[in-house]
């Protein structure tokens, strides 16, 4: 996270000064003017996008709706637990969890958050232009073929690649009774899709897919799969040497307009033994306390606990709400007096009945 509430007054003052020359400056593009998955990169803060709802048509599936809005399988299922995956039904209100806290990583090149199953790209901007961030759903490695972490670069870029299945994958398919050929040519049967970007970590790629329904799930042999239209659009913007950071952040914090938000995702299966829920809650509290850095920020710790215990991937504001009745706080002396009075009344009734 790059910014705290301490920088807000200065930012607002600078903004007010900047209004003087606003008419002479080019207008920054709003999110509504940008393609799907493109957002203005906030100069102050860490939050992009929004959560909104759409109405399903008769022929829609939850997966189709998600792909139309740049959201992967698991993201859609978590945000719509009561909605049928394959038949939401005409007129059903479907939540699009399209708001994201940017990962705690340098905002350059590509950042892949494996826990989130999402890729972020920070393209360079020409002088005077507002910077942007692009974000796309991805599929990552399953538990026995997990996607690696670390910093690397793109070392090769190929259009319409052939696929040469590694020996380990050919062996796995053979054991399942579905042997693979030594090479799969470009085309609709190629699991690489139409674009392939090789990483500096041997054996790992960013590529398209011929099975887009798996994007947003842990289904790969460690590579990063993208929707066909997403990988083609991203491919045209990149070059050999682009830096790629692969991180695992199931718990993210970020500021927006002076409010601290939290966004949490389920832990990867292989991380389940790293700590019980109580330990995760404790770690989250420590991270929040370090982020506010001693400031008198009204953190709602009960809300933080709920997010960690049931992570659904939707950003939640951690600002403690004002009490409905400031004159009377939960757990106060007034509650204690009422409890004692109620107990005494009950005892009086029992003694009179006896």
The string of pLDDT tens digits covering residues 55-101 is: 999 999 999 999 999 999 999 999 999 999 999 999 999 999 999 99
Distances (CA, A) of 294 to 11, 305, 308: 21, 20, 22
The string of pLDDT tens digits covering residues 202-212 is: 999 999 999 99
DSSP 299: B
pTM (2 decimals)? 0.80
**344 has a pLDDT exceeding 50:** no
Percent of the chain with pLDDT over 90: 64
Ranges 11-25, 154-168, 311-325, most confident: 154-168
Kindly state the tokens that stand for 36: 């799907």
CB 241 within 8 A of CB 108: no
More confidently predicted of 107 and 29: 107
Kindly state the tokens that stand for 291: 């982020």
Among candidates 130, 127, 166, 159, which has minimal Cα distance to 145?
A: 166
Active-site residues: which are they?
207, 223
**pLDDT score at 134:** 98
Among candidates 207, 208, 225, which has minimal Cα distance to 216?
A: 225
As a whole number, the mean pLDDT across the chain is 82
**Rounded-to-integer distance, Cα 328 and Cα 335, Å:** 8
The DSSP bridge pattern shows strands 132-141 and 47-55 to be unpaired
Kindly state the tokens that stand for 22: 């606003």
**pLDDT score at 321:** 66
Q: At what angle do helices 277-292 and 301-309 cross, to 10 degrees?
A: 130
**pLDDT score at 238:** 98
**Rounded-to-integer distance, Cα 335 and Cα 343, Å:** 12
Kindly state the tokens that stand for 191: 């699991």
DSSP 56: P
**20 has a pLDDT exceeding 70:** no
CB 47 within 8 A of CB 113: no
Q: Which residue bears the tokens 């970020």? A: 254
Question: Which of these ranges, 43-52, 220-229, 339-348, has the smallest mean pLDDT?
Answer: 339-348
Tell me the pLDDT band of 174, cut-offs 50, 70 and 90.
confident
Measured in degrees and rounded to the nearest 5, phi and psi for residue 73 equal -55, -60
**199 has a pLDDT exceeding 60:** yes
The DSSP bridge pattern shows strands 118-122 and 132-141 to be antiparallel
Tell me the pLDDT band of 103, cut-offs 50, 70 and 90.
very high
More confidently predicted of 5 and 295: 295
Mean pLDDT of 175-181: 78
Tell me the pLDDT band of 233, cut-offs 50, 70 and 90.
very high
**pLDDT score at 322:** 65
The string of pLDDT tens digits covering residues 253-293 is: 999 999 999 999 988 664 555 456 788 899 999 999 999 98
**Rounded-to-integer distance, Cα 101 and Cα 47, Å:** 5
Mean pLDDT of 172-196: 86
The string of pLDDT tens digits covering residues 104-157 is: 999 999 999 999 999 999 999 988 889 999 999 999 998 668 899 999 999 999
β partners of residue 225: 139, 207
**pLDDT score at 343:** 39
């Amino acid at each position: 996270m790059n910014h705290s509430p301490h920088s807000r007054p200065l930012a607002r003052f600078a903004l007010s000064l900047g209004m003087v020359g606003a008419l002479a400056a080019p207008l920054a593009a709003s999110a509504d003017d940008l393609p799907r998955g493109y957002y203005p990169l906030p100069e102050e803060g860490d939050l992009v996008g929004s959560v909104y709802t759409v109405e399903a048509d008769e022929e829609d599936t939850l997966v189709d709706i998600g792909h139309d809005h740049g959201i992967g399988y698991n993201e859609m299922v978590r945000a719509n637990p009561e909605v049928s995956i394959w038949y939401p039904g005409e007129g059903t209100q479907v939540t699009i969890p399209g708001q994201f806290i940017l990962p705690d990583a340098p905002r350059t090149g590509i950042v892949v958050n494996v826990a989130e199953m999402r890729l972020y790209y920070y393209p360079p901007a020409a002088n005077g232009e507002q910077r942007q961030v692009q974000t796309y759903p991805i599929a990552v490695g399953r538990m026995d073929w997990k996607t690696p972490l670390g910093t690397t670069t793109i070392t090769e870029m190929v259009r319409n690649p052939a696929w040469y299945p590694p020996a380990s994958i050919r062996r796995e398919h053979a054991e399942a009774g579905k042997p693979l050929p030594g090479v799969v040519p470009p085309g609709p049967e190629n699991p690489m899709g139409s674009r392939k970007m090789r990483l500096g970590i041997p054996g790992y790629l960013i590529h398209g897919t011929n099975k887009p329904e798996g994007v947003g799930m842990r289904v790969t042999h460690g590579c990063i799969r993208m929707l066909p239209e997403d990988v083609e659009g991203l491919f045209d913007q990149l070059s050999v040497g682009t830096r790629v950071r692969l991180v695992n952040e199931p718990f993210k914090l970020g500021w927006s307009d002076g409010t601290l938000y939290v966004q949490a995702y389920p832990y990867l299966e292989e991380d389940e033994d790293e700590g019980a829920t109580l330990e995760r809650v404790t770690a989250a509290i420590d991270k929040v306390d370090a982020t506010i850095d001693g400031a008198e920020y009204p953190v709602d710790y009960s809300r933080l606990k709920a997010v960690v215990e049931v992570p659904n991937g939707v950003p939640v504001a951690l600002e403690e709400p004002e009490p409905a009745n400031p004159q009377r706080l939960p757990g106060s002396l007034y509650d204690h007096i009422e409890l004692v009075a109620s107990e005494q009344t009950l005892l009086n009734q029992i003694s009179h009945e006896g």
